[in-house]
Homo-oligomer: A and B are copies of this chain.
Amino acid sequence: MKKLINDPADVVVDALRGVAAAHPELRVDLENRIVVRGDAPVQSHVGVISGGGSGHEPLHGGFVGPGMLDAAVAGEVFTSPTPDQITAATTAVAGGAGVLHIVKNYTGDVLNFQLAAELADDEGIKVETVLVDDDVAVQDSLYTAGRRGTGGTVVVEKVSGALAATGADLDEVAAIGRRANQASRSFGIALTPCIVPAAGTPTFELGPDEIEIGIGIHGEPGRERRPIGPASELAAVATQAILDDGTLDRGDEALVIVNGMGGTPLIELYLVFGEVAKLLGDRGITVARRLVGNYVTSLEMSGFMLTLTKLDADLTRLWDAPVNTPGLHWGV
C-alpha cells in the first residue's frame, strides 16, 4: 500500500488538521471530527448537516460553507460516524429553526443519524431527515436495505442549503431535499478498486481488462463484471440504466453530473461527459446544468458515476444560487 499518510489509524484526524490549516473560514473540531461553518449557528435559519464515512472527499466536509452545508461529520474511512459526533454537529448548527440531516442510505448511517436525531430532540432541537437513495444499480446491497445513496447527495445538499439560506422553515427545507432526491438517479462503473488505509488491501479485485458495472461508492458489487469497452459504450450503459428508471422524458431539462471516483483523469471524465451529452441530446433531453469532476469519490478508485437530476424551476434556481465551499464555489 502506497499512500500519503502517517499512521493508518490517524488518517481522518490528520486530514482534518489539513482542512483546518487550509480553510480558516471553517471551524474544524478535531475531537468530534466535524467541520462547521465559521459563522454557525446562523440564527433563525435551518441548520443543514450531512456526514458519513470518510474517503468520499470532497463529500461532505468540502461542501461546508454559505449556500450548502452548515456542518459535516467525518466517520472513519468507509465507516459511519457515531451518534455523538452527529449530535455535536447538530448542536453546533442549531440556530433556533431546527436542523436538517441529509443521510445517505447505508444501514449504519441511517441508524446513527436516527439516534442523534432523538438525542437532539431531547435537547429541544427539532430535526428532520432526508434519506438519499439515488443509485439505480441494485435494490439491496452489502451495507444497504434499499437503494444506496451516492452522487445525488451533492444535489440534495446543494439545493437544501440554498433554500435554508433564504430563511425557509425546516419543513420546506426537508421537502426540497426530498424532491431533489426523488428527481435524481445515479449509476457507477469502476475500472479499479481502492484500498482502505486501515485494511491495506484492495476492497475487491478486478482483472486487467475487467470492470464492474453498477458499483457502489465503497466498492460494493454492482450488476455484473465484464471486459472494458469504449467510453461511448460505458456512457450508454450508465445513461440507459438511469433512463430505464423512468424519471426523465423527452423535453425534460437535466442536471448532469459526471463524477470521478477519485483516480480517473479529468480528460477522461470530460470525454465521458461528451458521450452522455450526445446520448441525452438524441433522446430530446436538454443538458441544462452540468458538473464534471471529483465530487463523491471512493478514495483512489478509477471509474465514473453518472447522476441525472430532472430539473424544475425551483431546483434550477436553488442549484444556481450562490455557494461558497471548498468543493463547490460559484455566484459569490
Residues of chain A having any CB pair with chain B under 8 Å: 2-7, 11-12, 14-22, 54-55, 57-58, 62, 77, 191-192, 194, 208-209, 211, 228, 230-232, 234, 262-275, 277-278, 287, 290, 292, 294, 297, 299-300, 302-304, 326, 329-330
Pairs of residues from A and B, 3 with the lowest C-beta to C-beta distance, nearest first: A18-B274, A18-B270, A21-B277
Chain A contact surface mostly: mixed
Q: Inside 8 A of A299's CB, which chain B residues have their CB?
A: 265, 267
How far in angstroms is the closest Cβ of chain B from A209? 7
Check B302 against A2 for contact (C-beta < 8 Å). yes
Check A18 against B292 for contact (C-beta < 8 Å). yes
Check B2 against A192 for contact (C-beta < 8 Å). yes
- How many copies of this protein are present in the complex? 2
Check B268 against A5 for contact (C-beta < 8 Å). yes
Check B268 against A3 for contact (C-beta < 8 Å). yes
Q: Inside 8 A of A265's CB, which chain B residues have their CB?
A: 55, 57, 194, 262-263, 297, 299-300
Which residue from B4, B208, B228, B262 sits with its C-beta under 8 Å from A191?
B4
How far in angstroms is the closest Cβ of chain B from A18? 3
Check A4 against B300 for contact (C-beta < 8 Å). no
Given contacts A263-B263, A265-B57, contact A209 B18 (CB under 8 A): no
Q: How long is the Cα–Cα vector from A260 to B230 in the complex, in angstroms?
A: 27
Check A2 against B329 for contact (C-beta < 8 Å). no
Q: Inside 8 A of A270's CB, which chain B residues have their CB?
A: 15-16, 18-19, 22, 57
Check B297 against A300 for contact (C-beta < 8 Å). no
